């Protein structure tokens, strides 16, 4: 589904990723773990070319293929790529618009104005993000009036409204309390199967609870990538074991 081959990535002169090769399976949840600054978010942001926004960021060598297409090929339109690869950010960032407008934003920028269709998508996406029952009576109030956990689920609903095939989550629960976190995790369980989910997390319990596969990064290198159970019970690398057991990181 997502295939990374020998990827080197630089911020200016600093090398952030070293020869990463990983193959992320479709319709599964893959967790990226590792200490701060290990490159897991950088790699995630390579998948929807969010790194393009950073002036000094560049790919050294290697490639990222999604659905078999090298997404850094000059022929690739970054706009249509990002419609396929949705993203949920660390800090929930609903737009200061109504809940309804937040969901329809992705469609409206595609020029879809059909009211009936938009209504349908809003309901479907909010149901998909397990938020419908909580907000159905106040769709036209500001998205910023929601609680932190609801805001994050609104962002997930906004992402799935444009029907991507992949959803990238960059520490989606780091700013949430445990109850809100468990709701988002539940949601991730519901979404997998339909979407390929890649989640960056600092919380190893979270990786253990909700992912199928886990990749451990350290200092810009992919140390180990395996089934989550294996990583957490019987890692083959010493560094992984040290990190999992809390000896560093």
Give the footprint of another protein on residues 51-70 (CB under 8 A): 53, 55
The answer to whether residue 2 forms part of the interface with another protein (CB under 8 A) is no
CB of 73 to another protein, least distance (A): 18
Asked whether 9 and 15 are in contact (CB, 8 A), the reply is yes
Strands (E), 69-125: 69-70, 85-88
Give the footprint of another protein on residues 105-134 (CB under 8 A): 105-106, 109-110
In the chain, % helix, strand, coil (3-state, to 5) comes to 40, 30, 30
Residue in 114, 237, 215 with CA at minimum distance from that of residue 245: 237
The answer to whether residue 159 forms part of the interface with another protein (CB under 8 A) is yes
Q: In what order do the strands lie in the sheet with 213-218?
A: 85-88, 166-170, 196-200, 29-33, 213-218, 221-227
162-192 per-residue burial string, b: 16 or more CB within 10 A, e: under 16: bbbbbbbbbbbbebbeeebbbbbbebbeebb
The answer to whether residue 12 forms part of the interface with another protein (CB under 8 A) is no
CB of 216 to another protein, least distance (A): 25
**CA-CA distance, 105 to 110, in Å (whole number)?**
9
Quick one: which of 79, 133, 179, 248 contacts another protein (CB under 8 A)? 79
Quick one: which of 122, 162, 191, 199 contacts another protein (CB under 8 A)? 162
Of 79 and 179, nearer to another protein (C-beta) is: 79
Quick one: which of 2, 16, 38, 87 contacts another protein (CB under 8 A)? 87
The answer to whether residue 155 forms part of the interface with another protein (CB under 8 A) is yes
**What are the residues binding another protein (CB under 8 A)?**
48, 50, 53, 55, 79-80, 82-83, 86-87, 89, 91, 93-96, 105-106, 109-110, 144, 155, 158-159, 162
């Amino acid at each position: 589904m997502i295939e990374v081959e020998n990827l080197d990535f630089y911020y200016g002169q600093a090398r952030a990723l070293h020869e990463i090769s990983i193959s992320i399976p479709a319709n599964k949840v893959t967790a990226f773990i590792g200490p701060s600054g290990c490159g897991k978010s950088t790699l995630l942001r390579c998948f929807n070319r969010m790194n393009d926004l950073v002036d000094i960021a560049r790919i050294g060598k290697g490639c990222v293929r999604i659905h078999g297409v090298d997404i850094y090929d000059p022929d690739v339109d970054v706009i249509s790529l990002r419609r396929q690869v949705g993203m949920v950010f660390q800090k929930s960032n609903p737009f200061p618009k109504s809940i309804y407008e937040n969901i329809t934003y992705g469609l409206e920028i595609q020029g879809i104005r059909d009211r009936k269709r938009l209504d349908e998508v809003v309901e479907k996406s909010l149901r998909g993000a397990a938020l419908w029952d909580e907000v159905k009576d106040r769709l036209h109030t500001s998205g910023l009036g929601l609680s932190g956990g609801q805001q994050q689920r609104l962002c997930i609903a906004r992402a799935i409204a444009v029907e991507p095939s992949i959803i990238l989550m960059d520490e989606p629960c780091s700013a949430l309390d445990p109850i809100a976190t468990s709701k988002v995790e539940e949601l991730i369980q519901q979404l997998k199967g339909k979407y390929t989910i890649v989640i960056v997390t600092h919380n190893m319990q979270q990786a253990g609870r909700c992912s199928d596969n886990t990749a451990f990064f350290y200092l810009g290198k992919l140390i180990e990538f395996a089934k989550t159970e294996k990583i957490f019970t019987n890692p083959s690398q010493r560094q992984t074991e040290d990190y999992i057991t809390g000896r560093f990181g």
